[in-house]
Copies of this chain bind each other. A is one copy, B any other.
Amino acid sequence: MRIMGIDPGLTRCGVGIVDVDGHRRSQFVSVHVVRTDSDAELPARLLQLDQELSALMDTYQPDFVAVERVFSQLNVRTAMGTAQASAVALLNATRLGIDTALYTPTEVKAAVTGYGRADKAQVTSMVTRILNLSSPPKPADAADALALALCHAMRGVGQQRVAEGLARQAQ
């Protein structure tokens, strides 16, 4: 199964792609950061993000898209942009019939590092190890996007296997 993790943002939107097998082993595929010009008008930025995410989904054909759930404790202006970027990401996936899930930063950190309050360095370090990368993914948005994909690989696929196992037992 191919999972695309998206760390939404208007200025920088991280997109990480991993493949995961039935034993929850994850393999790195690719990572991208879509940037839009913070001096440009909002509609133009949304359109650029829309087009670039659409192109990435077309290129990598993910089976699943995991997006970071937007929170409010951030700077309000940033939170609005993040909410709008997440809408663009979810809309693109849903238009293509790709299933999506939203994960909170705490869920992502817990899945990847075992600790919900891990810092960025710990997340980057674990992403690098889990995916056997020769160097840490940069910038932080890239590592976060891969962590989102890994979070779904660990949680989502795990839950799916449990559900399948229960279904088999019930037969």
Contacts and interface: CB of A to CB of B under 8 A. Distances in A.
Interface of A: 42-44, 46-47, 50, 70, 72, 76-77, 79-80, 83-88, 90-91, 93-95, 100, 102
A94 B40 CA distance: 13
Contact of A83 (B47, B84, B100, B102): B84
A13 to B, nearest CB: 13
Interface of A is mostly: helix
Contact of A91 (B47, B86, B90, B94): B47
A79 B70 CA distance: 11
A94 B91 CA distance: 15
Nearest to A93: B43
Given A88-B87, A94-B47, A95-B47, A42 B80 contact: no
Contacts of A102: 42
A97 to B, nearest CB: 10
Nearest to A86: B84
Contacts of A44: 94
8 contacts: A42-B90, A43-B91, A43-B94, A46-B94, A70-B80, A72-B76, A72-B77, A84-B86
